[in-house]
Each structure stands twice: as structure tokens, then as C-alpha cells.
Amino acid sequence: MPVRPQSRGLPEALDGGPMGTAMVGRRWSLGGADAVDEPLDADSGVERLFRAHRLAMVRLARLLVDDRETAEDVVQDAFGALHRRWAALASDDAALGYLRTSVVNGSRSVLRRRRTVRRHPQPAADALTAEPADGRVLLAEEHRDVLAALRALPTRQREVIVLRYWAELPEAQIAATLGISVGAVKSSASRGRDAIAAVLNSEQRGQQ
């Protein structure tokens, strides 16, 4: 079990459980100590990763797009893309990285469409992003004030914070997922933490 790094000034509510860190390594079916390793086909391989990582990916998407139904759609599309890409991916590490990047990119597309809708409002547009009554169940352990502060962050900072402190990815892996430098990951994480801490401190002062 990796030791979770502690960052000065990070609210305790940012301490989430690990996401997407299980079952990585070579993408092979092992039949026993003396069996010959056999590569999994797309159907079997994607099904295995689906069972192991679907909920973690939905949770990741939920933190980025704010509603469960849309998060489910984003993840479903990501697994479909993974199935199509399977033959080009050499390991579970590569497959999981591709899946995670697809979820982030799909979430970005959702947010871009929402910004367009807000600029050009239509009747009942709110229904497109409405959350089911049980939509917060996935994040029941998270504090609503932290989630509200997270939503207010710029997209890049929000993605980095979610991947770093909920998905518990190392900086190099976040950089690869988002297509940015490690330095950009560090600066975005620092600014995001500071912004969230400032919001929480302001709310605490307001309650005194």
C-alpha cells in the first residue's frame, strides 16, 4: 500500500480513497505456475478492467462533470473506446492509462458543451444536467463545501486536484494523462489547494 503524501494546507476532506490503482501490470491470463501466458482478447480484457475499475472511473468522472448520469455516459464511452483500441495496448498499465485519459477528455467535452448551452440557453436546458435524487451517493463521504470549492476551480486545476488527491496518481502519471508537464501539474495542484483552502477558511470565519 503506497503511503499517501501529505501536503501542507490541504483540507482533510481532500483525502479520498484510492481510485483505479488496483490490477495493473501485464495484460495476461495466468492459468497457474506451469501454464503458458496468453494475451487476453478485447472482450475478456475490457470486461475484466470494467469489473475492476468501472466504479472508480465513474467516481472520477462524477467529480469532473458534477452529475452521476453524465458520468456514467462518459465512462461507458471510454470503455467503448478502450475496446476499439485494445489491440494497440500492451499491458494493463497502458490500458488503464488510456481509459483514464478517455474519461478526462470525455468530461472536458461535456463541460465545453455545457458552456455552449449557457451561452445559448434553450428551454429546459437545466434538465440536461440535472442530477438524480441519489446522485450524491457516490460521493457521500466527501464534504459538500469542498466539492463546491472544487467546482469553482479552473478546469486544469480541478482535473489535477481530482487526479492527485482522489485518484492518488503520481505527478508524472497526471502529466501523461492530461498531456502537460510535471511542472504544470505541481503549479496547478498548489494553486488549486490554496484556492480550496481559502474558500474553506472564509466559510469558517463567516460561521464564527
Nearest Cα to Cα of residue 88 among 27, 20, 169: 27
State the sign of the Cα–Cα–Cα–Cα dihedral 25, 27, 31, 37.
negative
Radius of gyration of the chain (CA): 19
Q: pLDDT tens-digit profile of 121-155?
A: 443 333 333 333 333 433 443 467 788 888 899 99
Query: What does the domain layout of the chain look like in residue ranges?
Result: 22-136, 142-208
Poorest-pLDDT segment among 154-158, 168-172, 198-202: 198-202
- Which CB contacts under 8 angstroms, 24+ apart, belong to 81-89? 82/46, 82/49, 83/42, 83/43, 83/46, 86/41, 86/42, 86/45, 86/46, 87/42, 89/27
Q: pLDDT tens-digit profile of 24-52?
A: 444 444 333 433 355 689 999 999 999 99
CATH code for 142-208?
1.10.10.10
Structure confidence at residue 202 (pLDDT): 79
Contacts of 45 (CB under 8 A, 6+ apart): 27, 86, 95
| Mean pLDDT over the full length of the chain | 76
